[in-house]
Chain A
Amino acid sequence: MNTLRLVKWASLAAVVGLTVALPYLVSSFYVNMATQMLFFGLFALSINLIAGYGGMVTLGQAGVLGIAGYGLGIFYTSYAVPLGVSALLAIISTILVAAFFGLLLVRASGVYFLMITLAQGMVVWGVAQRLTTLTGGDNGLRGIARPPFAVEYWSYYYFSLAVVAFCVFLIARIVRSPFGLSLKGVREAETRMAPLGYDVKRIKLFAFTISGTFAGVAGLLLAMYNNFFSPPSVYVKASAEGLLMSILGGVGTITGAFVGSGVFVFVTNYVSGYMERWPTLLGLIFVLTILFTPDGVVGAWQRLVWAPLLRRYGAADEAELIEVGVGGGGLLSDRDLKGSKSAIEAGSAAPSEEPSEQVEETRAGS
């Protein structure tokens, strides 16, 4: 157990160290890639919050991100509102819009739900295209500034890192909170929730609003990064990419969102310089992930590397939890949970064959 803890802390320290030292280690090209990875990761994580933890797949999250991006651009460039205030107003607008669509979404399920999320993205995209006086139409909005203390590539990286780290901290708390547990409850057995005392619509509305807020923060970072915001950022393709990032990394995990965005940013920025058919490569990666590890890169890592390590150092029950639970049941898999066989083989914490025995024991004991 101690060795394990050491490994855990050492790897965490290594990741933190590398993240902080990055601008001193590599060129601006890679630092910029890392910055993109951060805000796309936050975007993917915002999707993951409702899709991975809540079991509700959205195809319109880029529309929500767009409210923040356009909001910032419009307040700042068209109305000359100070940057900080513009950002605040943009986030407030995002929250309102996310809550508005949330009110529609809590009334729908299945295909209808998906259609509304799709509409959500299309409406924002359509408005962005048509309302040219405000949004600049296809030309987008230029002149969106970065904060004065974060103009350089490296200082903007640190700025994004701080913002995203804070958001991740909040999200990590939220998913472990009573609300987070209720959200997982909705994912696992929605119809069971109301009879247990939960107002399911309220849980969902909170989830959409919170998730939208984080997507909004990602939108602000994206707009300031490019000094520019335009319709492709809110198009359905952008929403789908966010969803795919979170699937690629591992649905229902926090690290997964960033692993997913990392792969995505690497392929779009780096591989695209060498390979004309990079979208095909991206597609191939997604297909292979879904075929071979439906719980994503993080899921594969946990099952193939981490769980055996735990088991080896005598934490079989923890290993079992990873093998079955962590991926959170698939978004795409039929929740036919993996690794159950090895868990039973491991024995120690595996369910007993004869449940009735246990009933008798308690009764005898009480």
Chain B
Amino acid sequence: MDETPSEQSGARPVLRLTGVCRHYGGLRAVSDVSFEVASGERRAVIGPNGAGKTTLFKMISREEPTTKGRVEFLGRDITRMPAYRVAKLGLSRTYQITRVFPALSVLENVVLATQGLRPGRYQMFKAAMSNKALVEDSERAVEQVGLQRVTKTPAAELGHGEQRQLELGIALAQKPRLLLLDEPAAGLSAVERGMMRDLVKDLPDDMTLLLIEHDMELALGLADYVTCLHNGSQVAQGNPEEIKNNERVQDIYLGRGD
């Protein structure tokens, strides 16, 4: 297996993938991917369209079954665990295509996220929005992504950029140990991308990040370590410098792959 920082430091990895595959009928969307992500690491997953990046995320968050292989999170085998349990262990994600709750207000969106990890989440007699601790924690997450001026606005009314901020706010509200970001800057303008990059850069050091990004420059700027996928397979791993100079990666990105 490739060497990763976690093996060097000897600490238990936050995430360990072992020979992970996902087949859709005959299509091998992800085949035999193995890597480890150390605590506090920021790893980018890059690769061209259809490389299998999102599918890999879905297997880690357990939104899709894993055809073959093993997914471990914080030392626990989660390969067959229901998604809502995995979330409780401290894993959150964002989506490439914004997936917020359109008719709910910004604050309600975030409260829903905060509440999801707390014991009273199915409780039926007290008003959700009158739970002080819950609302205050949620307001903090709203501020963190800069939406404090529109807390009462329904998510459907937000502009695209703000929806991306909310998407991130929902995930951050859960204070995850491992955060999966699927193209957080998708569809943003150049200025907004810069803001998003800063937002991600400023996340707490102990939050482990796995980041999918098309924009090489953005990805390499944020990550300590990079995994490159192509046609479902892992074709290169290394630090940003190594990836930049990797011939295979250059071939793929210049369209000389296969």
Which residue numbers of A lie inside 8 Å of B, CB to CB? 173-174, 176-182, 184-185, 187-189, 191-200, 202-203, 206, 210, 317, 320-321, 324-325, 328-329, 335, 337, 340, 343, 349-356, 358-363
> Distance (Å) between the CB of A324 and the closest chain B CB?
5
Beta-carbon contact of B112 and A351 below 8 Å: no
Which residue numbers of B lie inside 8 Å of A, CB to CB? 61-63, 82-84, 86-88, 92-93, 95, 99-105, 108, 111-113, 115-117, 120-129, 131, 143-150, 152-154, 156-159, 161-162, 164-165, 170, 174, 189, 191-192, 194-196, 198-199, 202
Residues of B within 8 A of A173 (CB): 124-127
Beta-carbon contact of A181 and B111 below 8 Å: yes
Most chain A CB within a 10 A radius of its CB, from B95, B113, B121: B121
Beta-carbon contact of B63 and A199 below 8 Å: no
Beta-carbon contact of B104 and A325 below 8 Å: yes
Beta-carbon contact of B148 and A351 below 8 Å: no
> Distance (Å) between the CB of B234 and the closest chain A CB?
24
Enumerate 27 A-B pairs (CB-CB under 8 Å) in ascending A order.
A173-B124, A178-B115, A179-B124, A180-B124, A184-B104, A185-B101, A185-B112, A188-B104, A189-B102, A192-B99, A192-B100, A194-B62, A197-B87, A321-B105, A321-B152, A321-B154, A324-B157, A325-B105, A337-B154, A343-B157, A351-B162, A352-B149, A355-B146, A355-B161, A355-B164, A359-B198, A362-B146
Name the residue on B nearest A343 (C-beta): B157
Interface residue from B61, B103, B195 paired with A188 (Cβ < 8 Å): B103
Closest CB pairs A-B (n = 10)? A197-B116, A355-B161, A188-B101, A196-B116, A194-B83, A329-B103, A358-B146, A197-B87, A359-B146, A359-B195
Residues of B within 8 A of A195 (CB): 61, 63, 83-84, 86-87, 92-93
- Known pairs A177-B126, A335-B102. 11 more at Cβ < 8 A? A173-B125, A184-B103, A188-B104, A195-B92, A196-B87, A197-B87, A320-B157, A325-B104, A325-B105, A337-B103, A359-B145
Beta-carbon contact of B102 and A196 below 8 Å: no
> Distance (Å) between the CB of A90 and the closest chain B CB?
23
Beta-carbon contact of A176 and B99 below 8 Å: no
Residues of A within 8 A of B165 (CB): 355, 358-359
Cα–Cα distance between A356 and B160 once the two chains are bound (Å): 11
Name the residue on B nearest A321 (C-beta): B152
Cα–Cα distance between A180 and B124 once the two chains are bound (Å): 7
Beta-carbon contact of B115 and A181 below 8 Å: yes
Beta-carbon contact of B154 and A324 below 8 Å: yes
Beta-carbon contact of A199 and B82 below 8 Å: yes
Beta-carbon contact of A356 and B161 below 8 Å: yes
Name the residue on A nearest B142 (C-beta): A362
Residues of A within 8 A of B157 (CB): 320, 324, 337, 340, 343, 350-351
Beta-carbon contact of A358 and B149 below 8 Å: yes
Interface residue from B82, B99, B115 paired with A189 (Cβ < 8 Å): B99
